């Protein structure tokens, strides 16, 4: 199995902070995209609920993602997140599965 992994982060803005959260996410995404291990970092907004946001990132390895979590701009966002979030974000990690990888156990 490849070391590559995806990170999916779901965030909900406090009422009245929807656009501010989006602005902060775009500020966060710009330096993330140029990190050595980042394959992509995309910010998405729900069509159904403008308070709902999602970040989708792909990383070359868990070690690259660990470096990302120590970046000052991410630490600052995490420290200030409660200003704009209705509740804490949900973070899920996914491993890349290729056609030659064995199927996961049921």
Domain span holding position 58: 5-95
Hey, what are 67's tokens? 């470096």
For the stretch 33-85, pLDDT in tens is 999 999 999 999 999 999 999 999 999 999 999 999 999 999 999 999 999 99
Report the length, in residues, of the chain: 106
CATH of the domain at 76: 3.30.70.100
20 found inside a domain: yes
Name which of 71, 92, 64, 74 is nearest 27 in CA terms: 74
Contact 100, 6 (CB under 8 A): no
Rounded distance between C-alpha atoms, residue 37 and residue 55, angstroms: 16
Q: Is residue 70 part of a domain?
A: yes
- Sheet with 5-12, side-by-side order of all strands: 38-45, 52-59, 5-12, 90-95
Predicted TM-score of the model (pTM): 0.88
């Amino acid at each position: 199995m490849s070391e590559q992994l995806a990170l999916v982060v779901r965030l909900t803005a406090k009422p009245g902070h929807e656009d501010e959260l989006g602005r902060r996410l775009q500020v966060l995404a710009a330096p993330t995209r140029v990190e050595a291990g980042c394959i992509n970092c995309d910010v998405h907004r729900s069509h159904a609920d403008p308070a709902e946001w999602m970040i989708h990132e792909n990383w070359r390895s868990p070690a690259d993602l660990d470096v990302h979590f120590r970046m000052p701009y991410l630490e600052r966002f995490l420290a200030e997140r409660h200003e704009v979030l209705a509740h804490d974000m949900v973070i899920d990690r996914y491993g890349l599965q290729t056609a030659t990888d064995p199927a996961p156990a049921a």
